[in-house]
Amino acid sequence: MNIGSKNKKRVVLPSRPEPPTVDQILEDINGAAPNDPVFSILEKTGQDSHRPSESERFQQCKQYLGLNERLQEARGRLLRWREDLRLAGEQLQSDIAEVKGQTL
């Protein structure tokens, strides 16, 4: 019997914090200094040569909202198609049972 194993306490980690909202992220980006290390690292790696302007951020948000709307519409279509398929499957099962009953 290992005495040390009885005395080990299970460590309970704190829950993860909620991710920041879009407004909090934009506030953080807008409040960052021009010489913020993130922007200078992005420039050095060629991933971003400049900070997005207000109009660029607006266009990105507008594009995001448009894509989000299209995704919601597609989701609605898929839900309707799924329901149609479910109903067709039920009808098929009913028809199969009816045909089986006629052949006996």
- Give 63-98 pLDDT, tens digit per residue: 888 999 999 999 999 999 999 999 999 999 999 999
* Residue 14 resides in a domain: no
Say if residue 65 is in the same domain as residue 89: yes
Q: Is the pTM of this model over 0.85?
A: no
Indicate the average pLDDT of the chain. 82
For the chain, list the strands marked E by DSSP.
none
Q: Quote the tokens at residue 35.
A: 């010489």
Report residue 16 CA to chain centroid gap. 17
Output 56 or 2, whichever has higher pLDDT: 56
Work out the number of other CB atoms within 10 angstroms of the CB of residue 51: 15
| Boundaries of domain holding 44 | 21-51
26, 57 contact by CB (below 8 A): yes
Residue 11 is assigned to a structural domain of this protein:
no
Please report the pLDDT score of residue 6 as a whole number.
60
Cα dihedral sign, 81-85-87-91? positive
Domain check: are 37 and 62 in the same one? no
Is position 27 within any domain?
Answer: yes
